[in-house]
Chain A
């Protein structure tokens, strides 16, 4: 039987900030984005701030209403990266199968280390102790026989705790938890489950599989397997990369976008970043998607198929702009925009050329892109830019490619 650990750093960003600022350690602290650049939301909060019911993702002013003495500190991503690496250094003393899930969470398959330890619990306790001593932050660890229950375990008791969910006790622990605690049960799925009278994970496990499949399709099958402990996906080794399925960038503009000209500027920058990243990875994409969020924080996403695979910035830019024209009429000003490309194939694969396109022109555009890539690689993103971006340098003064931070990826 496998022994899987899921280790989760408790309020990671806030813990690191509190470690570096001993004077605020016993006060409610939150890490928040830059309000001036309008990224003013709560990213994480410490245990003291949790008591005031402050939630991740809410605006800083909302949080301050709940707790006027809240201390909001700016994030230091380089520090978090360093701590994340230090955590993984400790994990790597126990196994080489470390699968990160965001910066602060990891699955570890410690089955191979069981010869030297009495139980998975002992390993988890040792890791918990070492992280506290060596890094000065706390983790909660779930120990189980698959990844799903290990994750449930790490959420079960926080902070600084170890929870074992074994084959013997999973019905007592996991089944009593609300269904929304299960990975991949979000608000929408939870609503549907409630209509079926399903409240807990145990309810899912005991629900007829056919009915789940009828209501949720293949996801019903998955939920059934998750809740019964049948899930058996391997913990990937840290060097086994997942295959990339999409590349995207989004940004909240420094001011509200009022017209198409503003939007063009943002799209130009986003598409440039997305396409450069795509070319770096050696892909061509056939599907383009955009997301538009208005000032009421209402978000829509739209996607479109292209006629052929492409990595030319101009193609992606035109496609996303077309989508934008079709779906936004500026009844409300736009707050943030995003561009994502999917449906990849390798750029080295043979491409069917078209008799209707001007192939010569496409080749010119391609070599233009490659030249620009080379220049930007050597001298930075800002060394050569379209003249359009110079109209409003405050709006165009960001570089998503360099500022890009990888966020927790999907489970599949």
Chain B
């Protein structure tokens, strides 16, 4: 699934763009500790193509994509996620 996200980014004087922070819908923010790779890439999972930033967030690797002027991430299948969240927890 394609999920558009809000990103705080830095534009340097040469026009390079570097994402610094992901601002999640619920108000949480995630600092991007390091960008380890920047390249043009397509996302078959999300359905889109643009510049792919390989980011390290809380020691986890995550791709975020810049497609023209919108950022998106590949989100795991929402249906599966919802199913998981609605399954009643087993009582012990």
Among the stretches B19-27, B29-37, B43-51, the one at the interface with A is B43-51
A21 and B47 form a contact (CB under 8 A): yes
Distance between A132 CB and nearest chain B CB, rounded to angstroms: 8
Residues of B within 8 A of A20 (CB): 47-48
B47 and A133 form a contact (CB under 8 A): no
* Given A134-B39, A134-B40, A19 contacting B49 (CB threshold 8 A): yes
Distance between A21 CB and nearest chain B CB, rounded to angstroms: 6
Closest to A133 in B: B41
Q: Does B5 contact A (CB under 8 A)?
A: no
A22 and B44 form a contact (CB under 8 A): yes
The distance in angstroms between the C-alpha atoms of A86 and B40, with both chains bound, is 10
The distance in angstroms between the C-alpha atoms of A135 and B43, with both chains bound, is 8
Q: Is the interface of B mostly helix, strand, loop or mixed?
A: strand
* Given A82-B68, A134-B39, A134-B40, A22 contacting B45 (CB threshold 8 A): yes
Distance between B48 CB and nearest chain A CB, rounded to angstroms: 7
Closest to A131 in B: B42
Distance between A29 CB and nearest chain B CB, rounded to angstroms: 13
Q: Is the interface of A mostly helix, strand, loop or mixed?
A: helix
B44 and A134 form a contact (CB under 8 A): no
The distance in angstroms between the C-alpha atoms of A132 and B40, with both chains bound, is 11
A86 and B49 form a contact (CB under 8 A): yes
Distance between A138 CB and nearest chain B CB, rounded to angstroms: 11
The distance in angstroms between the C-alpha atoms of A19 and B47, with both chains bound, is 5
Q: Does A234 contact B (CB under 8 A)?
A: no
Closest to A82 in B: B68
Closest to B48 in A: A20
Residues of B within 8 A of A132 (CB): 42
Choice from A22, A83, A135 contacting B47 with Cβ under 8 Å: A22
**Which of A1-58 touch B at CB < 8 Å?**
19-22
Choice from B39, B42, B45, B46 contacting A135 with Cβ under 8 Å: B42
Q: Does A136 contact B (CB under 8 A)?
A: yes
The distance in angstroms between the C-alpha atoms of A83 and B67, with both chains bound, is 12
Residues of A within 8 A of B42 (CB): 19, 132-137
B68 and A136 form a contact (CB under 8 A): no
Residues of A within 8 A of B40 (CB): 86, 134-135
Closest to B44 in A: A136
Residues of A within 8 A of B43 (CB): 136
**Which of A211-254 touch B at CB < 8 Å?**
none
Distance between A109 CB and nearest chain B CB, rounded to angstroms: 23
Residues of B within 8 A of A136 (CB): 42-44, 49
Distance between A27 CB and nearest chain B CB, rounded to angstroms: 14
Closest to B51 in A: A134
The distance in angstroms between the C-alpha atoms of A86 and B46, with both chains bound, is 19
Residues of B within 8 A of A82 (CB): 68
Distance between B44 CB and nearest chain A CB, rounded to angstroms: 6
The distance in angstroms between the C-alpha atoms of A43 and B23, with both chains bound, is 40
17 contacts between A and B (CB under 8 A): A19-B42, A19-B49, A20-B48, A21-B47, A22-B45, A22-B46, A22-B47, A82-B68, A133-B41, A133-B42, A134-B41, A134-B49, A135-B42, A135-B49, A136-B42, A136-B44, A137-B42
